[in-house]
Amino acid sequence: MTRRLPAEWEEQDGVLLAWPHEQSDWRPWLARVEPAFIEIAKQVSLRERVIIVAPDEGAVQPKLEAVGARMDNIRLFRIDTNDTWARDFGPLTVLADEKPLLLDFGFNGWGLKFAANLDNLITRELHVAGAFGTTPLETAGLVLEGGSIESDGNGTILTTAACLLNPNRNPHLGRTEIEQALGRLFNADRFLWLENGHLAGDDTDSHVDTLARLCPDDTILHVACDDPGDEHFPEFAAMGEELRRFRTGDGRPYRLLPLPWPSARYDDDGQRLPATYANYLVINGAVLVPTYRDRNDAAALATVGRAFPGREIVGIDCLPLILQHGSLHCVTMQLPKGVLP
């Protein structure tokens, strides 16, 4: 059986979302953050299907109807959740002999930082509920979050050493063993490891989807800091050097597109929040890009557009999302073509 981990820009059936609620960490900011989820769900529903899990699905439906979401493209499932980070507990889909196969990895709250007992069960509960039709589900004996890896759809994985080699995930596995495991699960044969890159306020131990993203035509969109006085400047300068040394499968340098640097944002306690334009979501015909009510928002949209010509570039206000240290890509998981019934 030949496996392949498709790229995010390949055709999709839909996107998975988990709704914020009063029993989650979103409680203090629920009125501020729910509009972001509503807009994400609406924009996806205009182009493909949306699977939404929520403890009270009945409360979600009228809010989506009110903004003109395509309700025939939305399916709601009543499932209890800890939180909303579907990128990290949702299924990763491989194509096995070009037919979709869902992989259910272990999710331990980014190294036991947060409760994840409910979220770790969501993929299996959705499968039992028929959300994925007859698409088979395989349990992968590995702790892995979707935000920690990028695929070009052709056997290359981009990731960070700070996350995948952190002993709070798979302490019994070193770099070679991790590569062997991902090679077996994804049929990956090239690994691009970033040794540098970290956003202040990030709880994930440097998920690559906050830092650098593989794009079509051997392109990489990446965070870059142009302020020498910013704490991130040396870290991202070093990451930029790493990216320049990376080579494609046929030995050429990647086309690198640096993203603008948003202004520093802080919570009420003065802690810096991880604003990043790299945390965008590619869907059918469009790219949803996080914005932060920042002077660089327009430039970020334009830069993402250079990497994805022919797609509509849609900005979504994600300033509330970073209050819980994530952004747009973090709360979504794409479901490739053939997954949904």
* Domains identified in the chain, total number: 1
DSSP state of 182: H
- Cα 316 to Cα 37, 80, 133, distances in angstroms: 10, 26, 31
**Is 147 within a domain?**
yes
Residues 44, 52 contacting (CB under 8 angstroms): no
Q: Indicate whether 51 pLDDT > 90.
A: yes
**Is 341 within a domain?**
no
What's the rounded Cα separation, in Å, for the pair 289 and 280?
4
Question: Hey, which residues does 220 pair with through a beta bridge?
Answer: 214, 256
Which pLDDT value is given to residue 263? 96
pLDDT band at 223 (very low <50, low <70, confident <90, very high): very high
Contacts of 90 (CB under 8 A, 6+ apart): 16, 122, 123, 146, 333
What mean pLDDT is predicted for residues 53-76? Answer: 97
What pTM value is reported for the model? 0.98
**Is 210 within a domain?**
yes
- Cα 102 to Cα 95, 146, 178, distances in angstroms: 9, 12, 19
Q: Indicate whether 91 pLDDT > 80.
A: yes
pLDDT band at 1 (very low <50, low <70, confident <90, very high): confident
Buried b (16+ CB within 10 A) or exposed e, 142-152: bbbbbbbbbbb
What's the rounded Cα separation, in Å, for the pair 257 and 198?
18
**Is 315 within a domain?**
yes
Tell me phi and psi for residue 21, to 5 degrees: -155, 175
Residues 73, 153 contacting (CB under 8 angstroms): no
Residues 150, 158 contacting (CB under 8 angstroms): yes
- 3-state DSSP assignment of residue 126: helix
Looking up residue 216, the CATH number of its domain turns out to be 3.75.10.10
Tell me phi and psi for residue 206, to 5 degrees: 70, 60
- How does DSSP assign 224-261, residue by residue? ----TTSTTHHHHHHHHHHHHH-B-TTSPBPEEEEEP-
**In the sheet where 281-283 sits, what is the strand order?**
281-283, 286-291, 312-317
Q: Indicate whether 208 pLDDT > 90.
A: yes
**Is 46 within a domain?**
yes
What mean pLDDT is predicted for residues 205-223? Answer: 98
Render pLDDT for 152-199 as a digit per residue (tens, 0 to 9).
Answer: 999 999 999 999 999 999 999 999 999 999 999 999 999 999 999 999
pLDDT band at 235 (very low <50, low <70, confident <90, very high): very high
Q: Indicate whether 337 pLDDT > 80.
A: yes
Question: What is the distance in angstroms between the CA of the first residue and the CA of the last residue of the chain?
Answer: 23
Beta-strand relationship, 99-106 and 137-143: parallel
pLDDT band at 247 (very low <50, low <70, confident <90, very high): very high
- Cα 260 to Cα 24, 32, 73, 308, distances in angstroms: 32, 25, 34, 16
Residue owning tokens 């979302």: 17
pLDDT band at 324 (very low <50, low <70, confident <90, very high): very high
Q: Indicate whether 98 pLDDT > 90.
A: yes
What's the rounded Cα separation, in Å, for the pair 302 and 175?
36
Give rounded-to-5 percent helix, strand, coil for the chain. 30, 25, 45
Number of H helices, E strands in the chain: 9, 19
Report residue 92 as tokens.
């990763």
Which pLDDT value is given to residue 265? 97
- 3-state DSSP assignment of residue 66: helix
Render pLDDT for 10-36 as a digit per residue (tens, 0 to 9).
Answer: 999 999 999 999 999 999 999 999 999
Domain that holds residue 19: 3-336
Which pLDDT value is given to residue 123? 98
